[in-house]
A and B are shown apart, each in its own frame.
Chain A
Amino acid sequence: MTGQTRKQFLFEKRRRPPCGNQKTFPYLNAALSFFYRFVGNNKEVKVFCFFCSKKKCLPSLALLLQLTPAAASDARLPDWSGTWVPNITDQNKRITTDPVPWTASAARQIAKMQAEEKAGHPRGLFVNCLPEGMPSWMLISHNALEILFSPGRVTLLGESDGNRLRRIYTDGRSHPPDPDPSFHGDSIGHWEGDTLVVDTIGVIPQSYVAISEAVGLPNNGDLHVIEKLHLAGPDTLHDDLQIIAPHVLSRPWNTTRIYYRQRARKYEIVEGVCLQGSFNGGTDKDGNAVFVPVPQEDGNPKPP
C-alpha cells in the first residue's frame, strides 16, 4: 500500500458506493421532466439515490424540486430563434402614447432637445459610437437583434455598434453585491412559464434613457430595469419594460417594445462596427489595405 495508509484506503472504499448524487436515473428523470413540462411546472426535477447498498441503488420516493430555474433543459424553453426586427413606427408612436415621467428638471432639458431636433439641429446622443447601452438599446434601436439560449444563460446579440451584447444569467444566481458598472449592466433572469423576467442593475450613469437618437438623458445612476420578454403572437416578441431611474424619472416608467421575427436568410444579423463609418478603405505607400479617416461633423461624413 504505497503512499496511502490503510485508514485512507478504507475511507476511500466507504466513499465509493454505487450511488450518490452521481447516479441520477436519466430515464426516470426524463419522464418526470416531460410530465412537469406538461403540467406547466418549469422547475428542475431530479430523482437522486435514496437508499443504497453495495450492489443496489433505489430511487428516492421523494422528488427533489429544485427551486433554481431549469438550466440545461433547453427543450422546455420557448422558440425565440430567428432575427427580431424592431417596430420603429411603434417606438416613435410611444413618444406620445407612453410619455416618460421625467422629473421637472429632466423635462426642461428634454423639451430643449426636442425643440432643437424639430428645428433641424439634432444633438446626436450616440454619434461617438459608444454603445447605446441599457435601456436605450431596447427603447430606440432601429437595428435587429437575436436571442440565444444556452444552459443557464440567455444572450442578446445586436447589430450596429460592434459591442452590443447582453448576457442574462438564468442559472439562479443573484446580482453581485457591487457589480462593476457597464453599458449593459448586470442582468439576471428567470422563467415564469414562457416569459423571461430580467432584472438589470449596475449600469453606468452615463448610459442614456433615450426616446430618439437625439432626445434623452443620462440615467445619472441607480438605474434599475425590470423586463418581461414574451411572445405576444407566434412571431411577435414583446419586451415589457419597467425603468426605474430615480435621478431623471419621477416614478417608474412602464413601456413596451415590439419585435417581429424574420427567418429568411437575408434577415440574419450581420457584423456592425460603428466606428468603421469614420473610415474609408485606402492603400498605404507599401500597397497595404488600410483605413483612412473620413472627416466627420456631428456624426455625418463632412461634405467637401
Chain B
Amino acid sequence: MMQSAIRLFGKRNTVLAAALAAAAIYGGPGAAHHSFAMFDPAKLLTVTGTVKDFQWVNPHVVLWVYAAPKDGAAPELWTIELTSPGNLTRVGWTRHSVGPGDKVAVEIAPLRNGGHGGGFRKLTLIDSGKVLTSEFKDQERPGLQ
C-alpha cells in the first residue's frame, strides 16, 4: 500500500514559502560541511513514501526514501540530507527515530538541479503521526534540557 505522492506546495502557500525561503537563505538545517544553497527553499516538496535507509553519519545524516511520482507509478529513490547526528541528538532524535520500511511524509527543499534529493525540513511518521524537525535556532540559548 504505497500511497506515494510528491506534492508541490499550492499557490496559497506561496507567501509561507517565501517567508521560509527568506529565513533559510543561509540557514539550512544547520550542518557544517556544505552550503544548503543547492536546495531551493522556495519550492518546498513533500516526499511521501517508504524509507529505504536512515544513514546516521557525519557530516550529514541521510534519509533514503522510495516515493512514486504519482499513484501507481514505479517508486523512485530520494536522498534527503539532514544535519549531523550530534545536532539531531540535541533536538531529540536518535538513530532509531526512523528506519527501513517506515511510511513517511518528508517536507524538503528540493535540489535546484531537479535531482531526486533535498534538504530536510520536517518528517511525519505516517503510522504514528509523530512529527520531527531539526531547527537549530531552538538551541540558541543556554541551559536547555
Contact = CB atoms under 8 A, between A and B. Distances in A.
A260 interface: yes
A117 B112 CA distance: 12
A287 interface: no
Contacts of A143: 31-32, 84, 86-87
- For B58, B90, B137, the residue with the greatest tally of chain A CB atoms inside 10 Å of its CB is B58
- For A261, A264, A299, the residue with the greatest tally of chain B CB atoms inside 10 Å of its CB is A299
A160 B35 contact: no
Contact of A235 (B33, B77, B86, B142): B142
Contact of A124 (B35, B85, B136): B35
Contacts of A280: 53, 55
Interface string A139-181: 0111110000000000000011110000000000000000000
Contacts of A302: 79, 115
A270 B26 contact: no
B120 interface: no
Interface in A78-96: 85, 87-90, 92, 95
Contact of B32 (A160, A233, A270): A160
B122 interface: no
Interface in A49-89: 85, 87-89
Interface residues of A, number: 58
Interface string B29-68: 0111111111110000000000001010111101000000
A132 B140 contact: no
- Which bracket fits the contact residues of B? 35 or more
A95 B27 CA distance: 13
Contacts of B116: 303-304
A192 interface: no
Interface stretch (A104-112, A183-191, A271-279): A271-279
- Chain A interface secondary structure, helix, strand, loop or mixed? loop
A220 interface: no
- For B60, B84, B85, the residue with the greatest tally of chain A CB atoms inside 10 Å of its CB is B84
B38 A127 contact: no
B138 to A, nearest CB: 11
A272 B27 CA distance: 21
B79 A303 contact: yes
B58 A127 contact: no
Contacts of A273: 57-58
Contacts of A140: 32
B34 A299 contact: yes
A295 to B, nearest CB: 10
A242 interface: no
B90 A303 contact: no
B10 interface: no
Contact of A300 (B26, B81, B83): B81
B13 interface: no
A142 B31 contact: yes
A32 B9 CA distance: 70
Given A261-B143, A304-B116, A88 B38 contact: no
Contacts of A213: 32-35
A72 B143 CA distance: 29
B37 A118 contact: yes
A122 B35 contact: yes
Pairs of residues from A and B, 9 with the lowest C-beta to C-beta distance, nearest first = A235-B142, A122-B35, A124-B34, A214-B35, A303-B116, A299-B34, A272-B58, A120-B112, A142-B32
Interface of B: 25-27, 30-40, 53, 55, 57-60, 62, 76-79, 81, 83-87, 89-90, 92, 111-112, 115-117, 136-137, 139-145
Interface of A: 85, 87-90, 92, 95, 117-118, 120-122, 124, 126-127, 129, 132, 140-144, 159-162, 212-214, 233-236, 260-264, 266-267, 269-274, 276-277, 279-280, 294, 298-304
